[in-house]
Structure 1
Amino acid sequence: MPPVWPLVLSDAELTLRPLRRRDRRAFETLLVRNREWLSPWDATDPERRRPRPTHAELLRWSEREGRAGRHLSLLLCADGRPTGQVSAGPILYGAQSSATIGYWIDHARAGRGYAPRGVALLVDHLFAEVGLHRVEINIRPENEASLRVARKLHLREEGLRERFIHVDGAFRDHLSFALTADEVETDERGRGVLARYRREHMGATGAS
């Protein structure tokens, strides 16, 4: 079934929620501060350079795609502060029943476990509430930080896709990782990815 929108997912101080109009200043500041950190991994258009969409355009697009169940784009907030994004899309139903996951985190707050926890929250939702069978993540082999997220969450490495996505001016190779719902030991609510991450990587203090 298509996901409910607007969608809010939480784990202690971490929240995934839709981008809001009042987030504009904080979100734009976050993007500017992380431009160099993110540019080697951001998808680009091989045909032409497109201007970055305005905040209002992003809001309209995420609202439309979220309500249609085609793409979930969620702001990741830690202690109420915008800290990155986690997304699922395109979301495919029927025979494929799958989604591609994307994520990025503020460089200043990287290494604190926010990215894997945010991805785990969303994957649990996609499996338990949306009923998807499979998620995948495609990562440039050079992106060590992103590779660590996929491996911490026990996604299977499925191999190299050569010249797969246009990134930073050229078609780049990507490593593909995947996880299916039947590979996850779940609780009574059908969730298990976040619980496994917490058991393996977080101590009594919540540090990761």
Structure 2
Amino acid sequence: MMDFFQDARSDGSGRVSLRHLAGRDQDEFLGLVGASAELHRPWVSLPSTPEQFQDYVRRYARPDEESLLVCVRGSGEIAGVINVNSIIRGRFQSGSVTYAAFAPSAGKGYMREGLALVVRYAFEQLRLHRLEAQIQPGNYASIELVRRVGFRSEGYSPELLYIDGAWRDHERWAITNTMIDVAPTPPHPTLPER
């Protein structure tokens, strides 16, 4: 397993690591999606067939998309998935995060540690300036997750995203690389000088 960061804590006590989603994850991923259907509805829709999974893997092979698995240290069990979508370069240097915990390991804090790692990865490795999360107002667990990682509330957008057959209202949350202590990195080459 390829770790991007050993853990989210400086003392090495983190319980999860990250790795890119790959075709070899199909059986485990689809099994976890099936076991998590009630947890995910109506908040998120993940691939549930081999064909959908292969399309998902192809999507996240593009340079403006990243799909990272949150894996439990020791067992390697997949606890969740966090995606950095719609990466826009140039003056924006931003991406949008989406995520889902899987039922067998939900509620254990793995996603909080995983999201903190993804934030660091996005700022230090991808050299983004900003990450956004759009969350349906009734998804209290998701709102609490981003709040605990350091995202700030930036507003409310009616009918923002099409999910589960309807246009859904969303709260907008964001974090920038100036809001947390990240390793200094040179700006991404697409960032204009002025």
TM range, smaller chain: 0.7 to 0.9
Question: Structure 1 residue 141 and structure 2 residue 137: aligned?
Answer: yes
Provide structure 2 residue ranges, at least 5 long, that are not aligned to the other structure.
8-13, 186-194
Q: Identify the range of structure 1 (141-150 vs 16-25) with the bigger mean alpha-carbon deviation.
A: 16-25
Provide structure 1 residue ranges, at least 5 long, that are not aligned to the other structure.
1-5, 45-49, 192-208
- The separation in 1 between residues aligned to 2:68 and 2:5, in whole angstroms, is 9
CA contact (8 A) 1:8 1:18 kept: no
- The separation in 2 between residues aligned to 1:92 and 1:152, in whole angstroms, is 25
CA contact (8 A) 2:3 2:17 kept: no
Identify, as 1 or 2, the structure richer in helix: 1
- The separation in 1 between residues aligned to 2:170 and 2:58, in whole angstroms, is 30
Alignment of structure 1 residues 106-121 onto 2, 5 Å: 106-121=102-117
C-alpha deviations, 1:128-165, integer Å up to 9, x for none? 22221111111001001101111101211011110101
Question: Structure 1 residue 58 and structure 2 residue 59: aligned?
Answer: no
Question: Structure 1 residue 72 and structure 2 residue 66: aligned?
Answer: yes
- The separation in 1 between residues aligned to 2:45 and 2:165, in whole angstroms, is 9
- The separation in 1 between residues aligned to 2:121 and 2:48, in whole angstroms, is 32
RMSD (Å), alpha carbons: 2.4
Matching residue within 26, 29, 41 for 1:27: 29
Aligned to 1:41: 43
- The separation in 1 between residues aligned to 2:124 and 2:21, in whole angstroms, is 23
| CA distance 1:21–1:128, shift in 2 (3 Å) | closer
CA contact (8 A) 2:43 2:163 kept: yes
Structure 1 consecutive aligned stretches of length 4 or more whose deviation exceeds 6 Å:
none
The one-letter code sitting in structure 1 at the alignment partner of 2:93 is S
Alignment of structure 1 residues 165-184 onto 2, 5 Å: 165-184=161-180
Q: What's the offset of the Cα at 1:54?
A: 3.5
- The separation in 1 between residues aligned to 2:3 and 2:76, in whole angstroms, is 16
Aligned length: 175
TM-score of the two chains, using structure 2 as the length reference: 0.81
SS of corresponding position for 1:117: helix
The one-letter code sitting in structure 1 at the alignment partner of 2:55 is E
The one-letter code sitting in structure 1 at the alignment partner of 2:29 is F
Q: Identify the range of structure 1 (85-94 vs 177-186) with the bigger mean alpha-carbon deviation.
A: 177-186
Q: What's the offset of the Cα at 1:87?
A: 0.8
| CA distance 1:99–1:30, shift in 2 (3 Å) | same
SS of corresponding position for 2:92: coil
The one-letter code sitting in structure 2 at the alignment partner of 1:170 is A
Q: What's the offset of the Cα at 1:125?
A: 1.4
Question: Structure 1 residue 152 and structure 2 residue 148: aligned?
Answer: yes
CA contact (8 A) 2:98 2:133 kept: yes
Q: What's the offset of the Cα at 1:108?
A: 2.9
